[in-house]
Structure 1
Amino acid sequence: MASKGREGEHPSVTLFRQYLRIRTVHPEPDYGAAGAFLEEQAHQLGLGCQHVEVAPGRVVTVLTWPGTNPRLCSLLLNSHTDVVPVFRVCVWRGVQALYTKEHWSHDPFEAFKDAKGYIYARGAQDMKCVSIQYLEAVRKLKAEGHHFPRTIHMTFVPDEEVGGHQGMELFVQRPEFQALRAGFALDEGLASLTDNFTVFYSERSTWWVRITSTGKPGHGSRFIEDTAAEKLHKVVSSVLAFREKERQRLQSNPHLKQGAVTSVNLTKLEGGVACNVVPATLSASFDFRLAPDVDMKAFKEQLQGWCQAAGEGVTFEFVQKWTEPRVTSTDDSDPWWAAFSGVFKDMKLALEPEVFPAATDSRYLRAVGVPALGFSPMNNTPVLLHDHDERLHEAVFLRGVDIYAQLLSALASVPALPSDS
């Protein structure tokens, strides 16, 4: 690892904080500044760099460390450059503020480091830490004179936090992606509260469903029959009963993780024109996250059944629907998994394979046949992605660089496979 930087701070930490200060925050992420920053890192590290515009203003930056055997498929290290917003307030101490002092101890785009070594910033966990850990692991390996058979590509993609529809979803269909010949990928994971590290081999499928109920309108003072509200209430009750059943299933089985059950939340209610008018139409929107083993055809039929049971005039539509769940092998006979898990065995670190409870860009990679694992090397750390006071300790960050250096060495050295031909 490099020598200590200014005021005793490790230069990898300094670089991390610099990246955190780039405001790639929605709804107007500064992707241009992020791309320039990454290109400068490529120049310093002697890596190839290309920018692929997949949609207007949406650019994927690819950094490449060529391997010694170009016939082999490559190792792909993916991360997203965008971060979610923070709560805004109109005035704080007499000036326009980007955050509330009530929720954030420090400006979320200052990358403040406190006396204990915690770095506060939006993106500290999700997932600018991983982006810089990739870069610093490569820096460490190159400085030590390593060369590996497989090429290593690092992709930095936009818009993951808004679904990846103008990011990875488009990129995997591009010839530039095909040219990478990715054989295996790493992407983001989650922090772990324990000594163990979590790794995610699949993820739940996102179904955003809007249920619309139509009924008889009229004056708000009357007992009108067959109203939109009555029928919508029946559907909402059915969905929330299902939610409670899945919640109880999760809580009653200590061996189940959240990603192994289907979750649902009521996220939006719409309708009505005035307090004294019974509306003709009301709608409720739900966020379903389907476990990988769910029969999607049967689940869609269940949605239809809930609507039909509520009465005539109740329908549903999909706002978003992912129907291509894929599972990356965690069998010891799989060379990629053997290389990945072997690093943790050698380092005497515990690894817990799980299903990711939400959605990441890994789903697009798996859907086009690239096995992917979601992993962020953050143990003994509270899960603070998208939360107030998102932060990461510098010691956890630096250890992650060392872990990635070991992972890159193992994965980029996986011997030739049938899939390489």
Structure 2
Amino acid sequence: MTELNKIRNFSIVAHIDHGKSTLADRLIQETGTVKDRDMQEQMLDSMDIERERGITIKANTVRIDYKADDGEDYVLNLIDTPGHVDFAYEVSRSMRAVEGSLLVVDSSQGVEAQTLANVYHAMDADHEIVSILNKIDLPASDCDRVAEQIEDVIGLDATDAIQVSAKTGQGIRETLEAIVTRLPAPVGERDAPLKAMLVDSWYDAYLGVIVLVRIIDGVLKKGERIKMLSNSSVHHVDRIGVFKPQREEIAELGPGEMGFLTASIKQVRDTRVGDTITHEKKGTDEALPGFKPAQPVVFCGLFPVDSAEFEDLRDAIDKLALNDASFSFEMETSAALGFGFRCGFLGLLHLEVIRDRIEREYNIELITTAPSVIYHIHMKDGTMQELHNPADMPDLTFVDHMQEPRIKATI
């Protein structure tokens, strides 16, 4: 087990396309975590869609071993979080799992909308924040102006912001030193009851659900029985390990460490992001704060172009739902389109990603209906109805205008 004062847990936050994943690549390469011959662009983005669109959809983690200038060996746990607003809840949970953040700002574009949204997540989690001015190799780069913007708009001191070019590798060593010297070490008690945060989970065809965890207190060992506090389900731990960035099994995870466990869990829905994991016996009853189930906000219908492919579509959606707890679906029929599914998503990007994956991975041509949100109709008698479809709107023809219901969207 690594000593607490030799661990640094941090995330990288930025607006979309400000160089977050490229910076993560350079940190991995500079420390020799991955050999040069095995390096590839967007190292932590495993899905084809992530690579093609140049975005991060799933939070990913990597454990980096770094020998600092003071001669000490440190363990750096990096979480590369999504930058898009659709995945804001996942970002906020990832932030709670670490103590510090690197705020990456494009030195040619400056502070943008999503920069603010993500840095506020970091501030809410009480992070120490190191400002990084990226893309200094571009002719339009203006570090002084952007540093001033960070101070004026966000309110962070940017006098010691690090100037970096993640593309060329300039400033990467200084960034690693700043992580060690300016970000705090985690706190935790080895002898306390186990308390671990479930940061993320995804489905593996051979191992079942792989659960990414951050140990707050206590020790997690292979072979132990664990309990999820949100649904009281009990599981037997088969494997424990860390990402480097490939999976590497170890014997135990202690306070402040991040890694993964497998426990023959069948569905991602049983492992909710933000949940608290403890031991079945002599565990804690106190859940970590801030947990809430993911709620879909945008809905649309997915129908196969060829009605004979309906069963194939059902199988495809079932398999995707195994790997995405925030994606919901139910059967629906349409007079024009036949049998299909009404699906719920976190936002329009989430919708596009799911649709693209069904068409690409399962070779099914889809018809997608116009996205919509659920409306709540509050009646004067105090009741509330959910409106999924304009056709379900109550008939107001004979209702007095003083008695009209109030309608508002859920988002």
Instruction: Say yes or no: TM over 0.5.
Output: no
Under a length normalisation based on structure 1, what TM-score does the superposition of the two structures give?
A: 0.24
- Kindly indicate which of the two structures has a greater share of residues assigned to strand: 2
Under a length normalisation based on structure 2, what TM-score does the superposition of the two structures give?
A: 0.24
- Kindly indicate which of the two structures has a greater share of residues assigned to helix: 1
